[in-house]
Chain A
Amino acid sequence: MNAHTIGWRGTPLQPFCVLVSLWIVISSSVIDASSSKEEALKQQHLRLLGELSESHRAASPYLVVDTRGNVVQLRDRDHQLVRTAVAATGAARRFEGDKKKWKWSWRFATPTGRFSVLRKVSDPLWVKPDWHFIEVGEEVPVFAEDPRRFQRGILGSYALYFAKDLMIHGTLYEINLGQSITHGCVRVGAEDLQFFYENVDVGWPVYIY
């Protein structure tokens, strides 16, 4: 067999040679296009991972309150646990006084969402709200400045406000920690409270769920 026989009029191998070369050309172009697309996707993947890792770091350490598990956690900017404290959170119960005298009702729940530490107070003063007097069956003082409304010591040594009337504070009854029994505030033990007071700054986020 000479070279001439491998022409169009040659052996049955001729069509195979033509088609195989055609296939090689087509498949190589398909593979090139696919690999360049895959390369672009890999680049995009790396870019997204980079952006995610940049935005992943929190702007500041933050507090997390788990109202179901009754736990407060302090996490650093890399989301690592710094401190975990057993807490007591809102009972989520509704309270109504005598309807003839009081048309209002209260729901004693710890709100969920994103808050921040508004201020830190040592030796906080408890300003008793109306529901306290109704709850204990006492007459509700008419004036806001009535001395019966103020009491020190009952909130523990420190308080970290995260809303106007809501705070992380201490308790006289640490045996009740771990339960959902409060009127909306978050209670923690004395040691944990001191740690939070000393290590948490005003402005740090408080996430409650």
Chain B
Amino acid sequence: MARLHLLNRPCWIGALLVFAIWAPSGSDGTVQTTTNEAHLQHINASLARWLELANRDTHFLVIDHDADELRLYHHTALLRTCKADLATVATVIDSLTVSTHLRRLRSASPYVSPSVGPFDWERYLSDAATRHSALLLSDETLIRGAADEHSVWGAVAGATLSSADLRALFDALPDGTPVVRLPKGWASGDVTP
């Protein structure tokens, strides 16, 4: 009874409140540890996926947030390295794939002649990328060419790369191509997200 009586004291109640708020989070260090764990789990999941894809006979794309690069691989062979601006790309880790090829038909202007290149003009539809084309990943990340005054994408968030790189990737990656996204610090193990 004496103890129950003690619980009625305001100081006990105050102390319990402080404990209830403080204890679950432990301290700032515990919160940081949990974040680090989640980040490390993301990194490890990405590396495991990369390893898995490196044993398959298929093209795949690696988005490297450390190097600001998009790299095209087939098996373990490096086919192309594309410098990219990934500032607006979220570093959410997922089992990504190329979802859709966004393209336009021939130029809207009837006076523009088709240029020479690997186009299938018989269908009057360009199989290859134009500067207005883009690749859409399954998490709705857009891979597009660097914006210019004629860009149809404007300020849409996404990875931006040079026109030549975009055209190469656009042609090389069919829908469903696996994509690995490596977050910052993946190589060093620096787990500060």
Contact = CB atoms under 8 A, between A and B. Distances in A.
A74 to B, nearest CB: 12
A172 interface: no
Contact of B27 (A15, A27, A67, A79): A27
Nearest to B47: A48
Contacts of B23: 23, 26-27
Nearest to B11: A12
Given A66-B80, A205-B77, A38 B40 contact: yes
A48 B6 contact: no
Interface of B is mostly: helix
A157 interface: no
A68 B118 contact: yes
Nearest to A63: B77
B80 A209 contact: yes
A131 interface: no
A41 B40 contact: yes
Contacts of A90: 118
A58 B77 contact: yes
Given A48-B44, A48-B47, A48-B48, A27 B118 contact: no
Contacts of A194: none
Contacts of A58: 76-77
B88 interface: no
A200 to B, nearest CB: 14
Which 9 A/B pairs are nearest by Cβ-Cβ distance? A92-B118, A12-B11, A209-B172, A48-B47, A41-B40, A27-B26, A79-B78, A34-B33, A15-B15
